[in-house]
Structure 1
């Protein structure tokens, strides 16, 4: 428990609890922030937030896919436990998410932007739902509905003719109608409503950028000169995989034209800077409304993007570009005076640690069944007893004749020195083992090196131990258990069983 006390539903005492501004970018890599050392992309607002707060330098996704990662962030549980394996799939019945917990304890809750949960019509604990997609109980208040009312039929990647190709180019409509600007406006409107509630509040400002399509309005579209971005080397095997790809979705994950990577990267940087700018608008609003001294601000991403690393684009892999994501936590001194501004935490952390951190900062109990640990000791410089490891899992359709380059059933363990990727029994290549201290670009697979046999076996055994854990369901006293029976339970159970069986076959093949 933090310096705060858990007040439960106690009227005036609850009102003294801190507010939470929870900001998410979609598909943002950890290294695109200038405070993380990026030489080109500019993120002055997030740099300032890191200087006033704590930046986690080794924070990892629970799944390099949108929906499963978001479930893990808001449940504090790993993918193979909450069972929300894929975009468009719900978790198993009975999973409880952070907004619902906070609402139960007297918080007013709101979302502006992208939730990406299923089933889409559920509110998931949000009192005020302003959706980026057609989701939530009030889709008529969403961005899709706004653009349809204003322009009629439209697509999200509307671009000016001659500024790019499909999904890449200058936004065709006024800048104020771009989704980043819309989400910021909706966040400010939601904030005013939350303040009027006279309750502590939780606001989820969830941006779609820098996720594809790679479209931006001016001045951002022209902000970064694509010619100044270094050309990437395309490995020969990527050209073959691109040639053999069976469809548009597969081709989206491999790239064989370095000039296309340049063009896309320039807009990716522009999108990142645009989101950074609009986060500044939100932070300024806290100051203007006198809320900053009692508001916790958390910034993170659900997963990253390969952005040309190893000739790959997009996500769904366990390499650093997709799995390693940013996290910045700012807690005012009035809430936690022991936290040192500007601290950089180098310990390995993961998305399941977010829910217990928020609850502890709010002075609320962390329910049993949550798998993560509060990050507050690390924020204060106390790493004693920290496990210093992160896990991830994903299950998606295998691509291109079961090559291990892309997606499929896989899991990952990251330790301070090594990363082990287990591809299970579905791929020609079973393991990738990287010494992250000596090979941060993950170019030299040590899995077949006899000198690393004992290390591989030890890490594989730890993966098995992690997968075997079966925490109890999360339950909050007095809170009804939700039911999200959208996909039949037997199908969800079969999906998890198939993944676990695949990984057990994988474990049986490892070196003895």
Structure 2
């Protein structure tokens, strides 16, 4: 070893924090993630600023707020990243690898990765995707949608067509373990990114029946939330489940059961990765961060998907483990976000943090719980009428919706399930929050958020129902042509 720690970033797609044992869930089995947490520090107030795949991931590797890249939704048009994380780490003498889902555009834009072993959620050509090539080579090239059937089946729970050992979850862990073994004599940075538990929820046998539907807890919700303030919830419910009134309690329980099964299936493979680090004698020399790009509503507040600022969507796990360097089995209340992964890894590698980075080194808070937390997190999602903002501080969360200038205010200390909107009772707090947001976005010259000296607004409008959308219809046709 060179004296530099190995760096391992484990990301799960659409993994909400409260589904994990180490975040208080006693129902879903995640013993290996708990094992990781017991060897490190859990951050209890970690958030995805723009809770959807592309902005979250690119904000992480850029070390800046996603909107600074021009990303407020899943657009594939954005600013160049000036100081990408893998490039800065490679400059410190590291071998750098990407495994699994990156969601980059173009798909093989490497950002400083020496090698990319990709398993993307949607591939345009089989030759671009290492996992699809693997399936073809191993006799599973006839499986047209190996990550689960989409379109009108997008949120329909389904058993994977693949055996567990060939599922993308196992493939991602296996490729990660190969890289660990092959690089045991030089420092490495591996970004290991699982597609799941992103929908479709398609666990393998036996995970599809691991959680009996009769035992599944129902979502946190109340009847009044069937008519949400959030424009994105209206839209997502329409195309994901064809409208909230079309989803029965049995449907929801089954959906949650299969999501939980997918999480436990991932947990098993994370255990395989941890075992490999221990078998190779590298565990003590490896700084691991486990996180997610965003969460999943799973019916909470009568909503499905992400793209909202309820805790289920925007709060993410953030677990930091570095044996002999930071405490073990502790928790931190510091407000944290994905750019902190950027800062933590760069500084652990011995690099200098770029001035424009908004990240903070998480190991500092791990080592000293008295280091002050950032005072607030400001977040934004969407364009036009769908635009909304979050201000998170102390025990409070404020949300502003451009559609009709709707506002929500929650006291998470007293109301962790966000069932009691207190905005009408605290107009002075809401007014202060709006002014803070205005001044903040003025400082960045983010004009899309502003209308002169106010936040952008539109007359209130409820979306028109369109029903299911045919997602990525080119996916199966392209692969059939390629095979």
Using structure 1 for the length normalisation, give the TM-score: 0.80
- 1:460–1:507 contact (8 Å) kept in structure 2: no
Q: Is this contact kept in 2: 1:62–1:352, CA < 8 A?
A: no
Identify which of 421, 444, 450 aligns with 2:420. Answer: 444
Q: What is the CA distance between 1:500 and its match in structure 2?
A: 4.0
Q: Aligned residue for 2:89? A: 102
Q: Which residue of 2 aligns with 1:219?
A: 206
CA contact (8 A) 1:299 1:327 kept: yes
Out of 15, 20, 27, the residue aligned to residue 33 of structure 1 is 20
Q: Distance in 2 between matches of 1:291 and 1:153?
A: 37
Q: 2-side partners of 1:292 and 1:215: how far apart? A: 31
Asked if the contact 2:59/2:65 (under 8 Å) is kept, the reply is yes
The answer to whether structure 1 residue 85 and structure 2 residue 80 are counterparts is no
**Equivalent residues in 2 for 1:2-17 (5 A)?**
15-17=2-4
Structure 2 residue runs of 5 or longer lacking an equivalent are 460-483
CA distance in 2 between partners of 1:199 and 1:258 (Å): 52
Q: Relative to 1, partners in 2 of residues 1:245 and 1:420: Cα closer, same or farther, differing over 3 Å?
A: closer
Deviation readout 1:19-52 (Å, 9 max, x if unpaired) = 1011011101111111211121111111111111
2:174 equivalent to 1:185? yes
Deviation of 1:264 after TM superposition, in Å, equals: 0.7
Q: Aligned residue for 2:274?
A: 283
Q: Which moved more, 1:186-195 or 1:343-352?
A: 186-195
Please give the residue correspondences for 1:460-475 in structure 2 after superposition, counting only pairs within 5 Å: 460-470=434-444
Q: Deviations over 1:193-247 (max 9, x none)?
A: 433xx43110111001111001111121111111111334765456578998699
Q: Distance in 2 between matches of 1:166 and 1:136?
A: 22
Displacement of 1:344: 0.4
Q: Deviations over 1:52-74 (max 9, x none)?
A: 10000111112110110111222
Corresponding residue number in structure 1 for 2:135: 147
Over 3 Å counting, the alpha-carbon distance change for 1:298 and 1:245 in structure 2 is closer
23-32 vs 235-244, which deviates more?
Answer: 235-244
**3-state SS of 1:215 partner:** coil
Are the equivalent residues in 1 in contact too, given 2:15–2:295 (CA < 8 A)?
yes
Q: 1:397 to 1:461 in 2, by over 3 A?
A: closer
Q: 1:414 to 1:41 in 2, by over 3 A?
A: same
Deviation at 1:350, TM superposition (A): 1.6
CA–CA separation in structure 2 for the residues paired with 1:230 and 1:386: 34
Paired residue total:
449
* The one of 51, 54, 59 aligned to 2:38: 51
Name the CA distance, whole Å, in 2 between partners of 1:43 and 1:246.
28
Measured at CA, do residues 246 and 122 of structure 1 come closer, stay the same or move farther in structure 2, by a change above 3 Å? closer
CA distance in 2, matches of 1:351, 1:331: 18
Match of 1:477 in 2: none
Residue by residue over 1:273-303, the C-alpha shift from the partner in whole angstroms, topping out at 9 and shown as x without a partner, is 1111111100111111111121111100110
**Contact preservation (8 Å) 1:50, 1:328:** yes
- Seen in structure 2, the aligned counterparts of structure 1 residues 433 and 463 have a Cα distance that, compared at 3 Å, is same
Between stretches 207-216 and 363-372, larger displacement belongs to: 363-372
CA shift for structure 1 position 507: 8.4
Q: Secondary structure at the match of 2:9?
A: strand
1:373 Cα deviation from its structure 2 partner: 1.7
Give me the TM-score of the superposition, normalised by structure 2. 0.85
Question: CA 1:508–1:130 in structure 2 vs 1: closer, same or farther (change >3 Å)?
Answer: closer
> Equivalent residues in 2 for 1:319-398 (5 A)?
319-333=310-324, 336=325, 339-396=326-383
